[in-house]
Structure 1
């Protein structure tokens, strides 16, 4: 018999945590559970992608902090079997509202990035101190990678027995369907070119400057580079490509509606990040059957690629090593069957079962 699970997060704008929530909803609905998504503000492109069985609760606030009492009222009315909170500020407010409501719902928190990598200001430091004070009031917590687990253990007052490591789920069927759609880009439809691809916000964390320089050192005039996404660094990244004399071989298509159609037609996907919480885009690239190269950044890539078994891992910021990794994959690519087999370890149904275990069987 299904149980009632409420998933609390900011919105359904396009983002990593929101995609995790969407995939988790899909998996839990398929297992017969009653799912409600409780949002600080019910907005975002991914709202329309939620399964029709999922109810959306709009707390109607502009800030996470002001949802304490609306969330408390919701909990008193619904009293779900599980309240699952996603990300640090949401976790703190969920803990306070849960405490004030005095319901018997199990409270499960989750961290999707290493907490210490999120401290960039005095506000971030204050949030982390609040997390340290409140997290121990929860029934359990989820960390999405080993690095996040270790970091959470160090900064919170949670014991090892109160934290479970559960990787992020991906919807393989959806990815494969999207990957099969046509793309009109001239490089991806021309066998004369090999294409290196990456994707993400154009911010320092993603290490795209390292990727561009590494790409420039690959001795192949028919190699091309696509970097999907956009951000504050887009113009400076274009300038780097110009200064390296490769601006005609590098393109920045911006955000594309269906990145999987691009990735599935590329020859190599590169994750050049300085750090990640998990690196879900690597798993998505594997599901597309695209070979991958990644920095061995904290945290996630080493777990996803099993220490390099499914793609080269190189040190963060190491330009020559990243160049060599790209060249190795181009010279001797793995089969798409190998890559897709690894991606299935993160399939929605499998990960949803692991979440069921955390929600209902942990102490």
Structure 2
């Protein structure tokens, strides 16, 4: 394990990020941003993907290794491939960006016959939701072996320590660095959204139980009964058909746009009036950060964790109880019907979020973490030759 505060001398460090894909999620966006902004004078970034899916920007100097895990029974194959890569390239640091990626990383590190790199296991969500005992055991072992645990919000860190109290001494909290310059450029791109004069509520979320799209649609049905408005949902997932049925059953087919996964949701956000998040739990919702950074007021569930750290209730948005469509509808109506308040919330959100989640300060914190070193085994600045 690593000694607290031990720093490595200034040198170019090989850093491997392990994530499932580079498409469609907050952890994936986090990795894409880190790959783009890490100082190449100090770091040599590498990438391992469980699946060959790349939508988010990937720098020209990063060539991902594909581990080939699409089903649970591919776990061993992915671990062997990662172990082989570790043996060949010998990174100084490994950062596994999602919980299941940490389990694979742990197995690979146990197989690899090289000096152990400094390992950061990132947790991106509330722990232990929907796990079987095998996956739970694998994750617990991974967290015991990791040198640092990285959480993206204080709420998720607190929940993590309650679940895994032995990690308290090695837990760090660093928010998701967000590239607002790139977001601003993408927000200016055209998007085909008809009836520009109709007030538009937007959600950017995977259509899955965690995100509670049912609550979102039920809340919007109440809004629509009071005023003309549109709901746009950018995202796809296993509950898409159920959402389509609910939209039809509530008579909302003419005012709900199910846009599917959008590689550029920012163009949609820029043409919307209000952002809504209806999740039962989160880690630190990137889409909420991005929307508020673009100047959108927000209505969000006060779920564990993240939204209450992002939204200043009554100043940049409104927090409502989880699973309560009526309260969500009231908050949405209150902002859609009050242009001045909505504009003031949006301006305050833009200023607050860009200061809190901009790339510069958060990436500096992450780079300091990447420069720490483990004392388990000799330094390996020079690759072994055979």
Task: Say whether the fold is shared (TM-score over 0.5).
Answer: yes
Tell me if 1:68 matches 2:79: yes
Counterpart pick for 2:179 among 168, 171, 178 = 171
Aligned length: 354
Counterpart pick for 1:231 among 194, 217, 237 = 237
Tell me if 1:11 matches 2:21: yes
Q: Distance in 1 between matches of 2:260 and 2:213?
A: 14
Superposed counterparts of 1:1-363, under 5 Å: 1-29=11-39, 32-41=42-51, 43-46=52-55, 49-59=57-67, 63-100=74-111, 101-119=113-131, 124-156=132-164, 158-187=166-195, 189=196, 191=197, 193-218=198-223, 220-307=226-313, 309-330=315-336, 331=338, 332-335=341-344, 336-344=346-354, 345-361=356-372
Summarize the Cα distance change of 1:71–1:229 in structure 2 as closer, same or farther, 3 Å threshold: closer
- Aligned residues of 2:67 and 2:77 also touching (Cα < 8 A): no
Offset at 1:110?
0.9
Q: Distance in 2 between matches of 1:38 and 1:232?
A: 25
- Aligned residues of 2:90 and 2:114 also touching (Cα < 8 A): no
Which region of structure 1 is more displaced relative to structure 2, 250-259 or 104-113?
250-259
Q: Distance in 2 between matches of 1:240 and 1:60?
A: 36
When you count helix as a share of all residues, which structure comes out higher?
A: 1
Q: Which runs of 5+ in 1 are unaligned?
A: none
- Aligned residues of 2:149 and 2:167 also touching (Cα < 8 A): no
Summarize the Cα distance change of 1:287–1:30 in structure 2 as closer, same or farther, 3 Å threshold: farther
TM-score normalised according to structure 2 size = 0.84
Offset at 1:361?
4.1
Which region of structure 1 is more displaced relative to structure 2, 71-80 or 258-267?
71-80
Higher relative CO (CA 8 A, sep ≥ 6), structure 1 or 2? Answer: 2
TM-score normalised according to structure 1 size = 0.89
Q: Which runs of 5+ in 2 are unaligned?
A: 1-10, 375-386
Offset at 1:293?
0.8
Which region of structure 1 is more displaced relative to structure 2, 331-340 or 110-119?
331-340
Offset at 1:225?
1.4
SS in 2 for 1:247: coil
Q: Tell me what 2:5 maps to.
A: none
